[in-house]
Amino acid sequence: MPQWDPTQYLRFADERGRPFVDLVARVRSHAATVVDLGCGPGQLMPVLRERWPDADIVGVDSSAEMIERARADEQDPRIAYELADVVGYRPSGEVDVIVSNALFQWVPEELEVLTALAGHVRPGGAVAVQVPDNGTSPSHALLREIAAREPYAAHTQGLLEVRGSGPEVYLELFSDLGWSVDAWSTTYLHVLPGDDAVFEWISGTGARPVLQALPDDLREQFTEEYKTALRTAYPRKPLGTVLPFRRTFAVAHAPTPDV
């Protein structure tokens, strides 16, 4: 996994946070315990606190840099953070709600992991997941295309895949468990300010594995080549640079026992 930079990630905090707000709004369950998988630097914890004012909340992330930033900024005594990889993480007991924003596209075993996590949700609780589904968009296609060229390919082989699941994947997964499922897709049109805005966006997320794998001299060369391609694919307009971004959402509610 790449080493994350909380400051770079937070450059577009509002745009990255909007899908989380849309996701949480569709969760019907009351919650005394909430787990946020892939919590990053904790910037979205106020959304969870507003939605569940009395809950104990645990944020989980595999990045030491993100967890360090989250702990340093947190002032709510009922919010805690754990450093853990989602593949091996399991709550210590049953929880009411598990949420995850833009994490599971990084997890090849996502369906197996989600199935295991669902077993830790109380009856009537929920799992809410949002993942990017833009692996075939120009930003990612150009990233793969340029990274596959020499002299970069020797350093980037195997780092990039087309990732992201459609809503039907989650609909089937949770329906097979007997849960009720609300699954959908949304394409956001993010209007980004500044020069090379799409590069600045993706360098905080999807491009990080490539940028970190390259030696310093090749990283600079790759960056200029990639920026040039992105400027053509996403021309800057008077209103800013428009980045269409498709995302998949699923909110699944566990059944309650018959009384």
State pLDDT tens for residues 236-251. 999 999 999 999 999 9
pLDDT tens readout for residues 144-182: 999 999 999 999 987 777 566 899 999 999 999 999 999
- CA torsion 63-65-69-74 (nearest 10°) is 30
Q: What is the pLDDT of residues 54-103, one digit of tens each?
A: 999 999 999 999 999 999 999 999 999 999 999 999 998 999 999 999 99
The encoded tokens of residue 172 equal: 């089937």
Distances 215 to 10, 63, 155, 199 between C-alpha atoms, Å: 25, 22, 8, 19
Q: Are 186 and 246 contacting, i.e. CB atoms less than 8 angstroms apart?
A: yes
- In this prediction, residue 259 has a pLDDT band, given cuts at 50, 70 and 90, of very low
Query: Which of 13-22, 28-37, 101-110 comes out lowest in average pLDDT?
Result: 13-22
CA distance 220 to 211: 9
What average pLDDT is seen over the chain? Answer: 91
Report how far residue 103's alpha carbon sits from residue 90's, in angstroms, rounded to the nearest whole number.
15
3-state helix, strand, coil in the chain (%, to 5): 40, 25, 35
Query: Which positions ≥6 away from 88 have C-beta within 8 Å?
Result: none
Domain 6-253 classified CATH 3.40.50.150? Answer: yes
**pLDDT for res 207:** 84
| pTM confidence score | 0.87
Predicted local distance difference test score (pLDDT) of residue 5 = 52
**Of 196, 202, 207, the residue nearest 147 (C-alpha):** 207
Residue 3's pLDDT is what?
57
Per the model's pLDDT, the better-predicted residue between 191 and 204 turns out to be 191
